[in-house]
Amino acid sequence: MINFKKEIAKIIGQVININVNELETYIETPKDGNNGDYAFPCFRLAKELKKAPTIIANEIKEKIEIDNNLIEKVDVVGGYLNFYINKETIAKTVLEEISKNEEYGKSTIGNGKNIVVDYSAPNIAKPFHIGHLRSTVIGAALYKIYKYLGYNTIGINHLGDYGTQFGKLIEGYKLWGEEYNIDEDPINELTKIYVRINNLCKEDEKVLEECRNNFKKLEDGDEYCINLWKKFRELSLKEFQRIYDLLGSEFDSWNGEAFYSDKMPEVINILEQTGKLKESEGAKIIDLEDKNINTPCIIIKSNGSTTYATRDLAAILYRARTYDFDKALYLTSYEQNLHFKQVFEVAKLLGINEKYTNGLEHVSFGMVQLPTGKMSTREGNIIKLEDLLNESIERAKIIIESKNPKLENKKEVAKKVGVGAVIFNDLSATRTKDEIFDWDIILNFQGETGPYIQYTYVRTKSVLEKVDKIPEFKDINLSKLEDENSQNIIKLMYNFENILIQVTEKEEPSILARYLIDLAKAFSSFYNDNKIIVEDKELQDARVYLTHSVGKILKIGAGLLGIQMPEKM
């Protein structure tokens, strides 16, 4: 496709002695289309040229030579040089590319680069609740988008399958295991044991100490503890898979914390050799005050057991060697900001290439909270993700039943709409914002929602069903698409690949979610203002092809967010 920014930079470069690639970075896209498709701010040249920006803009305008097949007009507004792209040229550029490419917007910019995405990571033997939703869907979207842009992407589910919590579960199972049927209903029964043992730990310090000792035994290879741990893990993964099947989540690796149990001694040995590993109150720590981190990173607890940090450091070492990553993304809530600051700083002591430590990135997100406050498995106040998804599917089914009772495959459509509503609700907001969970908001099927995008896609399919066949691009009269509504759609579609790149630059899937809303709204305006099936064959073919193109991009974009599109609703 034509890179219009670069072409404009070349035009300006005819009269300004600045590298074309640098000029390209200056060019902006005005929010108001009345100010052109692209704008060059001349303020940046004022100091060097010792002239007012408006004078510079007018001088450039007088000197440049433009091709009217590329640029329709150029004008000056308040120090900006505004460029208007030829309508037929941009329509040809976009629609021809869509006609040639089933995977429009796909790119090779990531070829040769490896990206590790560590996401979801629920805790074994605990409910998969809505607090895990954000890590799962944000991580899955980034995983898919990086892959679409050509990166070799490795999705890792770093399961919480190790730590003191298992010492607690083992102790609870020892005390009351016969009272609970964990084979029939593993997560719920294990949660009951976990809540009960936590309450006992609060009352009795000796019980808490016994729990810590159980974890130490687990680390030391105690057969009874290991067999119980394996049972808890296998039963939990079976339960989790149901959620992943609903969300369409896939992983390349399920290596959790326990995988690194035999890899931690090397980390400890390396840190000891640096002379930075110090003893403090019986524990072994790395002091990070010289790095402006006031809290030390604990590597070994006073009872000799390891920590999350030790395991994360072992994982960094393993992933650097195994995946040769350019970037390693860690998708967790902002509550873990300090943890990752500590771990990433200590990782610099592991003797690995700077490429790896520079590529470590904590992609934090806001918390999902109940209107009554923070959720806690220990306190037993959570909303299970499976319950939420099933509730959403049921509500979607009721709406579909009332609006289109004769619809075929209602169950399958309700699943796509219900799950899509939950995923889109999570991804449409900036990831760093806290989210107060509210059934009425998350399951609102009106406005800027996942179901609205799905409905718009279904509308495009409905239009296409009314014609014998979709016309071929070579037969389209592009001059029929010069009206404002058509041009708004075409310009949005032109920007699709750039939107995906922006997502990876900011690790922010909401950029794509908002884009899909904008495209759906633009098509709705086009649909409401124009008849598509008309007597004028050339006009109909052009509008049908535009409709086909919108549907294609909505489906691709939604798919990258993990949302499936129904063909009918």
Q: Give the pLDDT confidence of 41-78 residue by residue, as tens digits.
A: 999 899 888 899 999 999 999 999 999 999 999 999 98
Q: Is 319 a member of any domain?
A: yes
- Which of 118, 149, 553, 199 has its CA nearest to residue 361? 118
Strand partners, 331: 363
Query: Widest CA span of the chain, in angstroms?
Result: 88
| Same domain (yes/no): 196, 247 | yes
Looking at the domain assignment, is residue 567 inside a domain? no
| Residue at 108 is within a domain | no
The answer to whether 197 and 175 are in contact (CB under 8 A) is: yes
Take residue 286 and report the two structure tokens written for it: 């790395």
Give the three-class secondary structure for 278: strand
Cβ neighbours around 324 below 10 Å, total: 14
Are residues 149 and 176 both part of a single domain?
yes
pLDDT in tens, 334-367: 999 999 999 999 999 999 999 999 999 999 999 8
Across 11-25, 352-366, 382-396, 552-566, least confident range: 382-396
For residue 208, give the nearest of 217, 219, 199 by alpha carbon.
Answer: 199
What per-residue confidence (pLDDT) applies to 219? 84
Q: How does residue 439 score in pLDDT terms, banded at 50, 70 and 90?
A: low
Contacts of 243 by beta carbon, 8 Å cutoff, 6+ apart = 128, 249, 385, 386, 389
The DSSP code sequence of 452-466 is HHHHHHHHHHHHHHT
DSSP assignment string, 300-338? E-TTS-B-HHHHHHHHHHHHHHHH--SEEEEEEEGGGHH
Specify whether 126 is catalytic. yes
The CATH number for 9's domain is: 3.30.1360.70
Number of domains in the chain: 3
In the numeric block, the tokens 């998350």 are attached to: 442
Q: Which domain holds residue 152?
A: 119-275+305-369
- With a cut of 70, say whether residue 380 has pLDDT above it: no
Are residues 449 and 547 located together in one domain of the fold?
Answer: yes
Could you list the beta-strand ranges (E) of 318-407. 327-333, 360-365, 368-369
- The residue among 201 and 380 whose pLDDT is bigger is 201
Do 479 and 547 lie in one domain? The reply is: yes
**In whole numbers, what is the pLDDT of the chain averaged over residues?**
93
Handedness of CA 235, 240, 243, 247 (dihedral sign): negative
**Neighbouring residues of 145: CB distance < 8 A, sequence distance ≥ 6:** 500, 503, 504, 509, 512, 560
**The CATH number of the domain where 420 resides is what?**
1.10.730.10
**Residue 245 is part of a domain; what is its CATH number?**
3.40.50.620
- Is 339 catalytic? The answer is no
Residue 569 has pLDDT above 90, yes or no: no
Tokens of 226: 């290991």
Same domain, 499 and 407: yes
Cβ neighbourhood burial of 482 (10 Å; 0-12, 13-18, 19+): middle
Kindly state the average pLDDT of the residues 424-431. Answer: 92
Report the phi/psi class of residue 120: left, alpha or beta, with left for phi > 0 and alpha for psi in -120 to 50.
left
Q: Using the 8-state DSSP alphabet, how is residue 84 labeled?
A: E
Q: Where are the alpha helices (DSSP H) in 19-163?
A: 20-26, 43-49, 53-63, 87-100, 133-148
Identify the sign of the CA torsion 68, 71, 75, 76: negative
Question: Tokens in use for 143?
Answer: 């995983």
Asked whether residue 107 is domain-assigned, the answer is no
Q: Spell 391-407 as b/e; 16+ CB within 10 A means b.
A: bbbebbbebbeeeeeee
Same domain, residue pair 395 and 481: yes
> Nearest CA to 519 among 104, 48, 229?
104
Token couple for 542: 């052009």
Cα–Cα dist 175/178, whole Å: 8
Contact 494, 558 (CB under 8 A): no
User: What pLDDT, on the 0 to 100 scale, is given for residue 126?
Assistant: 85
Q: Which residue among the candidates 87, 132, 415, 416 is catalytic per the annotation?
A: 132
> What mean pLDDT do residues 551-557 have?
98
Measured at the CA of 482, the angle between CA 476 and CA 486, to 5 degrees, comes to 85
CA-CA-CA-CA torsion sign (437, 441, 443, 447) = negative
User: Distance (Å, rounded) from C-alpha 95 to C-alpha 478?
Assistant: 9
Asked if residue 445 has pLDDT above 80, the reply is no
Query: 550 and 516 in one domain?
Result: yes
Confidence (pTM): 0.92
pLDDT tens digits, residue range 102-117?
Answer: 999 999 999 999 999 9
- Check whether residue 320 and residue 452 sit in a common domain: no
* Gyration radius of the chain over CA positions: 28
Amino acid letter, residue 468: D
Please determine, for residue 372, whether its predicted confidence score (pLDDT) is greater than 70. Answer: no
Residue 213: phi, psi to the nearest 5?
-65, -35
3 state DSSP class of 3: coil
Q: Which two tokens stand for residue 39?
A: 């704008």
Residues 246, 334 share a domain: yes
Question: Considering 87, 129, 147, 416, which one is annotated as catalytic?
Answer: 129
Q: How far apart are CA 204 and CA 143, in angstroms?
A: 45
Q: pLDDT tens digit string along 131-184?
A: 889 999 999 999 999 999 999 999 999 999 987 889 999 999 999 999 999 988
Residue 283 lies in a domain: no
- Tens-digit pLDDT profile for residues 234-281: 999 998 999 999 999 999 999 999 999 899 999 999 999 999 999 999
Q: How many CB atoms lie within 10 A of CB 371?
A: 7
The active-site residue, picked from 92, 126, 362, 552, is: 126
Q: Are residues 463 and 427 in the same domain?
A: yes
Considering the domain architecture, whether residues 18 and 155 belong to the same structural domain is answered as no
